[in-house]
Amino acid sequence: MKVSSSKFNEAFAELNCIENNTKMTSKFLNFQLYNFMNSKTILITGGAGFIGSHLVRLMVNKYPNYNIINLDKLTYAGNLANLTDIENAPNYEFVKGDIVDAEFIHDLFDKYQFDSVIHLAAESHVDRSIANPMEFIMTNIVGTANLLNAARSIWKTLNPPLTPPKEGELPPFGRVGVGQTSNLFYHVSTDEVYGSLGNKGMFEETTPYDPRSPYSASKASSDHLVRAYYHTFGLPVVISNCSNNYGSHQFPEKLIPLFIHNIKNNKSLPVYGKGENIRDWLWVEDHARAIDVIFHQAKVGETYNIGGHNEWKNIDLIKVICKVMDKQLGRPEGESEKLITYVTDRAGHDLRYAIDSTKLKNELGWTPSLQFEEGIEKTIAWYLNNEEWLNNVTSGAYQNYYEKQYASR
């Protein structure tokens, strides 16, 4: 039988269409399969705080196939207003709770069967740790231990099961390869665990621990616990130690937002000692990016330092803040500097922090993205443009804290 060429063309086009549809369907299915295989339920603790909220935002927006569960007690430092832009995202859920409550943490892990944990919840202000060390010991040490126990308890059914790694070997589970993770307990820590530097040198990952405040001692203890669970039980862990962060949404008890708030309200600027202590400042969104990179690419059991290569003597930094504030508020230059007041030094005040983050750069390719001059302008502009946020967090309990902290200095 002879088939007319137009009939043949029609049939051919139909077949092509079916094939294309099949190709498209299989592409779609592949995509869905990829999403399914790469989907994870990740617990982020302390996600309503300063760094935590930046990290939650990054993870929720960048990884729609991850379910991000933000666990936060909402202490004075936790603020859900930090996350209004993503609060309705389908891959985000907030749970209010205390990491010190072991039973609650156990039940939470049982319910969600988290694939991984990124642990940031902590008491984080050095001055508060001097006034009340026990809060720090409970949250930072006991709270971390509770999370480690819960992770160990749900991940013990891993295949192959949790066993301690042999000397010099990686545990028999964990990273499947670059860009993929299975279970991971990521502890976000601080450079303060290394102690205080003199005029020279930098903290490296191998620098011995020498914490000197109740805050840094509690963070050092939690780092030790995390490593102990890796060596003893083979729990897949990673730790990063970061320098001072700055940026939007930081509670105005820390130097930069406190001084912005005081300048705005023409209040004195309490500089501890002679203002000669040195800190290494990093843009908070760069810290969140570093956590993302480490979470996805680090080898289990490793530690990474994160820093800004951006050292400032406090008094020099304060003068920059004053200058930018004068400019942004339209005040005569030099006006805000008049508010500088030297007050009694912080007890045990660490002289200098400086982080060597070469390992993170060489192994995982991370470097800070923002120049400090640009970052500080953006930061100040954010606090001035978000008056309501600042007013809300500085009302009520903040006033009592401020009176207690600074009245006797």
3-state SS class at 310 = coil
353 catalytic per annotation? no
Q: Is 191 a catalytic residue?
A: yes
Residue 391 φ/ψ, nearest 5 degrees: -65, -40
* Interaction site with ligand DAU (CB under 6 A): 124-126, 190-192, 243-244, 254-255, 258, 270-272, 277, 279, 314, 346, 353
Identify any residues that bridge with 68 across adjacent strands, giving them in sequence order.
42, 92
Binding partner at 271 among ligand NAD, ligand DAU, none, C-beta below 5 to 8 Å by kind = ligand DAU
Q: Residue 96 or residue 274: which is nearer to ligand DAU going by CB?
A: 274
* Residue 339 vs residues 28, 36, 271, 312, 342: alpha-carbon distances, Å: 62, 57, 10, 20, 10
**Rounded to the nearest whole angstrom, what is the least distance from the CB of residue 49 to ligand NAD in the complex?**
2
Residues linked to residue 281 through DSSP beta bridges, in sequence order? 244
Residue showing the smallest CB distance to ligand DAU in the complex: 190
Give least dist CB 285 to ligand DAU, A: 16
Q: Kindly report each contact of residues 378-382 with a partner whose C-beta sits within 8 Å and lies 24 or more positions away, as own/partner.
A: 378/247, 379/246, 379/247, 379/248, 379/256, 379/260, 380/260, 380/321, 380/324, 380/325, 380/328, 381/328, 382/247, 382/248
Least distance (Å) between residue 122 CB and ligand NAD: 3
- Minimum CB distance to ligand NAD, residue 335 (Å): 28
| Contact status: 49 vs ligand NAD (CB under 6 A) | yes
Give the three-class secondary structure for 94: strand
Name the binder of 251 from ligand NAD, ligand DAU, none, CB < 5-8 A by kind: ligand NAD
Residue span binding ligand NAD (CB under 6 A) among the ranges 5-13, 46-54, 350-358, 372-380? 46-54
Residues 66-105 that bind ligand NAD (CB under 6 A): 72-75, 77-78, 98-100
Q: Does 366 bind ligand NAD (CB under 6 A)?
A: no
For residue 79, the number of C-alpha atoms closer than 13 Å in the C-beta half-sphere is 19
Which tokens in the block code for residue 207? 């620098």
Structural contact between residues 304 and 359, judged by C-beta atoms closer than 8 angstroms: yes
| 383 lies in the binding site for ligand NAD (CB under 6 A) | no
Task: Tokens for 190, please give them.
Answer: 């601080």
Task: Please say if 333 is a catalytic residue.
Answer: no
Q: How many CB atoms lie within 10 A of CB 208?
A: 7
Under the criterion CB under 6 A, does residue 43 sit at the interface with ligand NAD? Answer: no
Q: Does 281 bind ligand NAD (CB under 6 A)?
A: no
Residue whose CB is nearest to ligand NAD in the complex, by number: 49
- Positions 165 through 224 that interact with ligand NAD (CB under 6 A): 188, 190, 219
CA-to-CA separations, 50 to 206, 234, 284, in angstroms, rounded: 28, 31, 8
Cis peptide before 171 (omega within 30 of 0): no
User: Cβ of residue 330: shortest distance to ligand NAD, in angstroms?
Assistant: 30
> Minimum distance between the CB of residue 82 and ligand NAD, rounded to whole angstroms?
8
Site residues (vs ligand NAD, CB under 6 A) = 45-46, 48-52, 72-75, 77-78, 98-100, 120-124, 139, 143, 188, 190, 219, 242, 244-245, 251
Which positions are annotated as active-site residues? 191-192, 215
